[in-house]
A and B are shown apart, each in its own frame.
Chain A
Amino acid sequence: MTGWPDPRYKRPKSRSKGSKLPTESRWPSPDGGVWKEAGRMSATAADHADHHGPVEWPPDEHTGTASLGKLGMWVFLLSDGFSFGGLLLAYGILRGGSKVWIDPALKEPHLGINFTALLTFLLICSSVTMVLAHAAAVEGDRKGLVRYLGLTVLGGALFLCGQYQEYFGIVGHGLTSEGLIFGKSAYANTFYLITSFHGLHVLTGTIYLFVMLIRSMMGKYDHGNHNHIEIAGLFWHFVDLVWILVFTFIYLL
């Protein structure tokens, strides 16, 4: 690849005037016209598109049809995975090196499993609504996309409320008022650091998905233009995936 944007790849412009893509190959590929086919297909979809027709990426030898945006999100998620990996490893080292993890002398509360299991269930549900939103986006079903994205955002917001309840207590006591104070012990420190770092991801993801919700309401992802939805979904599923691990390592073990 030389230069950016790749001179061999032309992003289809607005097709409001019903202009079609040329059916000749714009991609002198050695693979005998696979990309040509992709171009043709986006042209057929473009017949119905007003402004934001789907953009097919030229198939890459290594990454197939994954868009650059998707690859970028994966690179980000890998680095994010390292952040969580580092935090969880630090937690493991601290816990493994301590004689008593929850010191009875400090009168720190144990973590409630059942309520957090409910939060886990909530995140799993929001992951399902996210893939269903993506499925609706693939089919160009704006109503379904908005509905499922809305449910996903709701799931994220409820998770944040649940975490607030767990920390500070909307109903009853939160962990902070029960004596789990940040800075008091390694147990409290690692718990707050890791769960709040994850909570920050949920907050980011909820805002991200809310923006995507507004954009899909505006019709930016009609006609099967699902790439951005899929990328947002990657982030959201990653947040869910990390929570699965955090739940197991912090709460259950």
Chain B
Amino acid sequence: MAQGDKKKKSNSGGQAAHKATSEKAEKAEGARKTSDDKAEAAKKAAGDKGASAKEGAEVAAEDKPRKKAAAPEEKAVAAKAARSEEHDEPDHGEAKAHGAHGAHGHKPNRREYLVIFVVLFVLTVLEVIVAQIPGIGKATLGVLLVSMALAKAAIVGLFYMHLKHETRILRTAIAIPLAAPALYAFVLIAEAAWRWR
């Protein structure tokens, strides 16, 4: 299944399938068989996201009383799919279609990795240079170095540890505990600055 190629289109395709199948849901009872065939075709056209929408619609078609309840749910699924599609990097045309990480939400982007590497390298060089500037003020040095180090750490976390691709809740659950020692450090520095003023 060439889901890799279809990925970009599958959002609109899913909606198309949704429209088609909800039309079918109107006259589903008599023509169940044809509806199935059509849905099969729609599925082939739309790829996997369409398929899931189709199955949602099929449930609606089977069970008329549930139809009204199911339709918005289906829409929600389509919206969810759309959101996860947007999350995908657009730059994966060359990536082969591997089922392995279909639900994983992202494919590794080598160019991005290398760009991040260059950024990390440049920041490291800058840090070393800044640290050896003769006669630089202690406060300036501290602010510059700490901000660069934190930027590097954040970049590693986001791009290399894939936090960028995790859910918002997981990211928050990781960021909040790590903010605790940072807050402690901030309080200590503020206290020291006040003591030495």
Contacts and interface: CB of A to CB of B under 8 A. Distances in A.
Interface of A: 31-38, 40-45, 54, 56-57, 59, 62-66, 71, 74, 78, 81-82, 85-86, 88-89, 92-93, 96, 113-114, 117, 120-121, 124-125, 127-128, 130-132, 134-135, 138-140, 223-226, 230, 233-234, 237-238, 240-241, 244-245, 247-249, 251-253
Given A32-B73, A63-B166, A124-B117, A135 B110 contact: yes
Given A121-B121, A127-B160, A253-B141, A65 B114 contact: no
Contacts of B77: 31-34
A115 B189 CA distance: 29
Contacts of B117: 124-125, 127-128
Contacts of B93: none
B100 A42 contact: yes
B157 interface: yes
A127 B156 contact: yes
A66 to B, nearest CB: 6
Nearest to B178: A81
Contacts of B98: 45, 138-140, 224
Contacts of B110: 132, 135
Interface string B181-197: 11011001100100000
Contacts of B19: none
Nearest to B138: A253
A43 B48 CA distance: 13
A205 B185 CA distance: 28
Given A37-B103, A54-B101, A237-B161, A74 B52 contact: no
Given A32-B52, A56-B103, A62-B167, A248 B177 contact: no
B52 A36 contact: yes
Residue of B49, B132, B160 contacting most chain A CB atoms (<10 Å): B160
Contact of B166 (A66, A78, A89, A241): A66
A41 B56 contact: no
Contacts of A93: 188
Q: 8 shortest A-B CB distances, which residue pairs? A: A224-B100, A85-B181, A41-B102, A45-B99, A135-B108, A38-B103, A248-B149, A32-B77
Contact of B161 (A120, A223, A238): A238
Contacts of A248: 127, 145-146, 148-149
B152 interface: yes
